[in-house]
Amino acid sequence: MTSDFRAKFPNETKAYYYSDTVYQDILSQKGCVGIRIYNGLDANGVMQTVLVGVDANGNDLYNGKIYDRSIICPPACPAKNPLNSWIGIY
């Protein structure tokens, strides 16, 4: 899937990184049972993700903690692997 995405959108962001503390912070909210990830654009028009907690009914906890500033790849990419380069087929 990541290979197909890179082939179709070679100039787009490959990945978004959030530390474990972001996920823990969202999940620690009262009533939070999961995390939903939305696509968005930052002030510079660069694709970003928006993370928000979700309750047991599938509703966004939009009045709670929301994270919208990930570390993007590129430029901050991990070592080459099948998910981010043409090594192997995934």
Task: Tell me the per-residue pLDDT of 19-69, one tens digit each, with 9 for 90 and over.
Answer: 999 999 999 999 999 999 999 998 988 889 999 999 999 999 999 999 998
Flag whether 54 is in a domain.
yes
Residue 33 is predicted with a pLDDT of 98
Q: What is the total count of domains within the chain? A: 1
Q: Are 63 and 53 in contact (CB under 8 A)?
A: no
Question: What tokens were used for 71?
Answer: 């570390």
Instruction: Flag whether pLDDT at 71 surpasses 80.
Output: yes
From first CA to last CA, the distance across the chain in angstroms is: 6
Residue 90 is predicted with a pLDDT of 43
How far is residue 34's CA from residue 25's CA, in Å, rounded to a whole number? 12
Flag whether 41 is in a domain.
yes
Flag whether 6 is in a domain.
no
The parent domain of residue 40 ranges over 15-73
Mean pLDDT within 6-23:
93
Flag whether 46 is in a domain.
yes
**Angle at Cα 54 formed by Cα 21 and Cα 30, nearest 5°?**
70
